[in-house]
Chains A and B, each alone.
Chain A
Amino acid sequence: MIAKLHASLKKVWAVLRKPSVHYSLGFLTIGGFVAGVIFWGGFNTVLEATNQEAFCISCHEMENNVYEELKTTIHFTNRSGVRATCPDCHVPHNWTDKIARKMQASKEVWGKIFGTINTREKFEGKRRELAEHEWERLKANDSLECRNCHNFDYMDFTRQSPRAAQMHSTSLASGEKTCIDCHKGIAHHLPDMRGVQGF
């Protein structure tokens, strides 16, 4: 068995090592480069297409539950018209982190195919677990997706309400707490919070 595998690997290696008979070196290098550009461009285009709100809410699970909830919050409508879309909070901007998150999201495709949360009841049943995943992720990356817009260095405590200023200038400033520790459920409804720290 191993000898057979070894033999076939050797054959492949021999083909790879052999100089091209039909194609010129120029064709292979330039053609390879062009093909690479097309592949890479296509890959990123598709990746970005899946990074849009329209894609997220093309599934009713997202549109009828979490998107409806988002609509009532300040991250959807507010006085200045700046709004956050799904990927702004749920997909890291950094490329490697993004790819890692996208690989994790393949589980969500599985969930879609097998209808893990295809009814309101099933979604409510899973809400705590799903929320915990997001809290964990934001806790681990120091609320990076919040901080993409809310930069601590430029927070003006004098423009905050006294209690907000109090919390931000102590716990948050010292790094003891991160955004998600206090600001849970700001964009979607909270699950049953029994046993969650701070509730």
Chain B
Amino acid sequence: MKSAKKVTLIAMVGVSVVMSPGVHAASVPDEKVATLRQAPINVEPTPPAMQRVSNTDIKQVRNYPMQPPVIPHKIDGYQLDLKVNKCMSCHARKRTGESQAPMVSVTHYMDRENNFLATLSPRRYFCTQCHVPQLEAKLLVENDFVDMDHLIAPKTKAEH
């Protein structure tokens, strides 16, 4: 939390430094200012090449138990609006026999009072709010995520 505040402070200082000509970049190097644009405001930068969507159809391991499972296939052109939910034409309970796709979790048939509904709960309707396909891409920023099993492991070892 403290470091986050520090970063914002540095960023703000950076912005003010940029805005006042002459003093530019003496204290904060450009690459330290977080931005996705990486180009002057009046220049249209060439976008990076489109990344390939992973289309293996093989279930991915969840990083933590409550993680919404990621989509292991392309969803290009799958209509998902008030008229149609294309995802459900495979993942709905009744469709799984034919499609052999995993059924959406039972929680998706529950309203927020935990009553079971016959169809998808409206609050769960828009699949891509939580479930997303994955890219075969290099990470933009370093990821130091540690699986909780790794956190637990040394402790249990010490106890035994």
Chain A positions near chain B (C-beta within 8 angstroms):
72-74, 161-163, 166, 185-186, 189-193, 198-199
Contacts and interface: CB of A to CB of B under 8 A. Distances in A.
Contact of A161 (B57, B83, B89, B101): B57
A190 B73 contact: no
Nearest to B95: A198
A186 B89 CA distance: 14
Nearest to A72: B77
B134 to A, nearest CB: 14
Interface in B79-129: 79, 83-84, 86, 88-89, 95, 99-101
Majority DSSP secondary structure for residues of B touching A: loop
Contacts of B95: 198
A74 B84 contact: no
Contacts of A190: 79, 83-84, 86
B38 interface: no
A166 B100 contact: yes
A44 to B, nearest CB: 36
Contacts, number: 36
Contacts of A73: 77
A51 B21 CA distance: 63
Nearest to A161: B55
B74 interface: yes
B15 to A, nearest CB: 37
Contacts of A199: 84, 88-89
Contacts of B84: 185, 190, 192-193, 199
Majority DSSP secondary structure for residues of A touching B: loop
Interface residues of B, number: 17
10 cross-chain pairs, A with B, having the tightest CB-CB distances, nearest first = A162-B57, A192-B83, A190-B84, A193-B84, A161-B55, A199-B89, A163-B57, A190-B79, A198-B89, A185-B79
A189 B76 CA distance: 13
A184 to B, nearest CB: 9
A199 B98 CA distance: 12
Nearest to A193: B84
Contacts of B79: 185, 189-190
Given A162-B57, A198-B95, 17 more contacts: A73-B77, A74-B77, A161-B57, A161-B73, A161-B74, A162-B56, A163-B99, A166-B100, A185-B84, A185-B86, A186-B77, A189-B83, A190-B84, A191-B83, A193-B84, A199-B88, A199-B89
Contacts of A186: 77
25 contacts: A74-B76, A74-B77, A161-B55, A161-B56, A161-B57, A161-B73, A161-B74, A163-B73, A163-B101, A166-B100, A185-B79, A185-B86, A186-B77, A189-B83, A190-B83, A190-B84, A190-B86, A191-B83, A192-B83, A192-B84, A198-B89, A198-B95, A199-B84, A199-B88, A199-B89
Interface in B20-45: none
A57 to B, nearest CB: 21
